[in-house]
Chains A and B, each alone.
Chain A
Amino acid sequence: MSRKKAAKGKSSASSPCASPRRKAGGKRGKGGSRSEPQANGLAHPCRPPGLSSSGEFYDLAFKVMLVGDSGVGKTCLLVRFKDGAFLAGSFISTVGIDFRNKVLNLDGVKIKLQIWDTAGQERFRSVTHAYYRDAQALLLLYDVTNKKSFDNIQAWLTEIHEYAQQDVVLMLLGNKAEVTHERVVKREEGEKLAKEFGVPFMETSAKSGLNVELAFTAIAKELKHRATKEADEPKFQLQEYVDREMRGTACCSCRQRCSLPFGIVTP
């Protein structure tokens, strides 16, 4: 009998150790127990830090959701962010809804992102709708080599407006930016559309790593800012942040970023 699938657990967030169940249970302590955010709201800044079931400590937790047409690279983007890897031809189509966790360290604050990966096929939307209202951030993807996936962005936005929280953090990503020959959606077209809808935008490449870290870090920063800011503090400018990060010389989550001609644009 095969143990293949059990071993695969390494790619899922939950089992970094051989027997996560005992470890998670044993370590859970006073601090960890009532520390999680509400299922439907932002994490409260004053609560004590939490402990995920994989035994990782964190201060804040947020739910992020990846949406977009089938085959635009949602899972690849997530795996690149989570494991820093891109193995061509190793991805399977996502069925229904799946998730992976990653803890980020932002200015000394540990942020746990629970990232939900959804099936792109239209009929699954009625299943994933259920989760929209709980997501605090959405990354909406299209594939720069697939015109249809770009044309469908407007429909996705309509859907998001209907089902997501009013103040959901949203970002539009044009993925597979490393492909040159088969590109059919120009960066400017992505910029234009994003501007029209007032959504931050950038091009990404799960394959090369371009802007992948930045996309997730940016939304995490925004969410953290919202959760911890004082009443009179100014709003976090997501687009300005990514713009600045793009131009900054002290980069880089990915080396290609500086040498490639596409980046992030202010709407």
Chain B
Amino acid sequence: MESRANGARTARQRAHTDSGAKERVPRVDPYGFERSEDFDYESYEELMSEYLVVLTRRSIKWSKLLQRSNKVQKNLKVKRYVRKGVPNEHRALIWMVASGAQEQMEKNQGYYHTLLAGEHDPKLVEVIHTDLHRTFPDNVQFRKSSDPCLQKALFDVLVAYGHHNKAVGYCQGMNFIAGYLIIITKDEEKSFWLLDALLGRILPDYYTPAMVGLKTDQEVLGELVRVKVPAVWQAMMEHGVMWTLVVSRWFICLFIDILPVETVLRIWDCLFYEGSKIIFRVALTLIKHNQALILQARSFPDICDRFKQITKGQLVEDCHTFMQKIFAEPGSLSKATVNKLRETCRARILAQEP
């Protein structure tokens, strides 16, 4: 135990460092999100001091890789690089190339603008409008006062997509995803094609009116938990908690607003490169790592509370370590396993639907 005098000095020192960190760290993060009032500047600075070293190292490696050839070939080395994080300056490019969005954009030159110039379905426009001012109000780039205000780009991308993919139209959650894409690419057309890659190829049918893909993947997660973290699965059953109540937002928003921004971007690096399996890895890591905490729950509401708690704190803030964990903690997870589970769960869901 510290002596009283020591304790006092430490507190004073800490208070000093606190105000220092607050002065040094900008109030708005690099993506335009305002830090909240109770933002922990001190531990952020501490984490960043380590992460900046990683970022610099990765940046140099990526620059060398991209210098050698302008084309990014998918191979084991690049996969390893992606898992270790794509530097923000190359993010748009890597997402575009890895997801096939680049290819689609080049093949369909002018298509995006044709969609925008065409007649707009008033119903679609109305639902999108309802969400425009409700997308990232805490991001300065989305404020009406900002020039340019990204709400305009968001509207365009969503309207164009709604007309491009009529089966989906607009589904809440897409506003957040498109918003992130616009923040990263700073380009409407690229955002549109990345959205197309995500919704059309990478993710199952999460956003269609029946949302079968979403329901399926929630069940798949349940099945994976049953095998990999059986005690948690048991607790969920005992208290009658449906997976949809605690994880639907994880899937629909691809962890936006659930996990810290930088962590989400690191996950998306892998999502664009490796596909939707990564979502299960993240979910399983959150659950498995916090197994003890979840198992302390004694009731239905208590379990729900804990599923909120597990998406916060050091584990997810330290994005680099977290990304290493998602490939280690849940153990093996083959594409074949996921596909098989998806097949069974989908059949089960379709059989239950009226």
Contacts and interface: CB of A to CB of B under 8 A. Distances in A.
A112 B299 CA distance: 13
Interface in B288-318: 290, 292-293, 296-302, 304-306, 308-309, 311-313, 316-318
Give 8 nearest A-B pairs by CB, closest first: A36-B299, A1-B262, A96-B248, A39-B240, A2-B261, A7-B36, A93-B134, A53-B305
A130 B33 CA distance: 34
Contact of B259 (A5, A7, A33, A94): A5
B138 to A, nearest CB: 7
A75 to B, nearest CB: 9
B171 to A, nearest CB: 6
Interface stretch (A10-18, A196-204, A216-224, A245-253): A10-18
Contact of A70 (B127, B173, B305): B127
A35 interface: yes
A34 B38 CA distance: 35
Given A36-B301, A93-B175, A119-B172, 12 more contacts: A9-B312, A19-B313, A28-B296, A35-B298, A39-B241, A53-B305, A63-B300, A71-B130, A95-B253, A96-B248, A130-B244, A131-B245
B296 A39 contact: no
A52 B209 contact: no
B100 interface: no
A101 B136 contact: no
Interface stretch (B10-18, B69-77, B210-218): B210-218
Interface in B108-145: 127, 130-131, 133-138
Interface in A92-137: 92-99, 101, 112, 114, 116, 119, 121-124, 126-127, 130-131, 134
A2 B244 contact: no
A197 B137 CA distance: 38
Contact of A1 (B133, B134, B136, B319): B319
Interface string A179-211: 000000000000000000000000000000000
A90 B302 contact: no
B39 A7 contact: yes
B172 to A, nearest CB: 5
Given A4-B138, A91-B134, A124-B172, A97 B245 contact: yes
Given A32-B298, A40-B240, A98-B249, A4 B36 contact: yes
Contacts of A119: 172
Interface in A42-66: 50, 52-54, 61, 63
B316 to A, nearest CB: 8
A267 interface: no
A235 interface: no
Given A4-B29, A90-B137, A123-B171, A101 B296 contact: no
A131 B241 CA distance: 9
A36 B133 CA distance: 39
A97 B137 contact: no
Contact of B137 (A13, A91, A123, A126): A91
Contacts of A8: 36
A36 B138 contact: no
A54 B290 CA distance: 16
B47 interface: yes
A127 B300 contact: no
A20 interface: yes
A24 interface: yes
B225 interface: no
Contact of B136 (A34, A52, A92): A92
Contact of B33 (A2, A6, A61, A134): A2
B31 A130 contact: no
A255 interface: no
Nearest to A33: B298
A3 B319 CA distance: 11
Nearest to B55: A1
Contacts of B51: 1
B296 A24 contact: yes
B218 to A, nearest CB: 9
Given A2-B31, A93-B135, A101 B176 contact: no
A4 B309 contact: no
Interface in B168-227: 171-173, 175-176, 207-211, 214-215
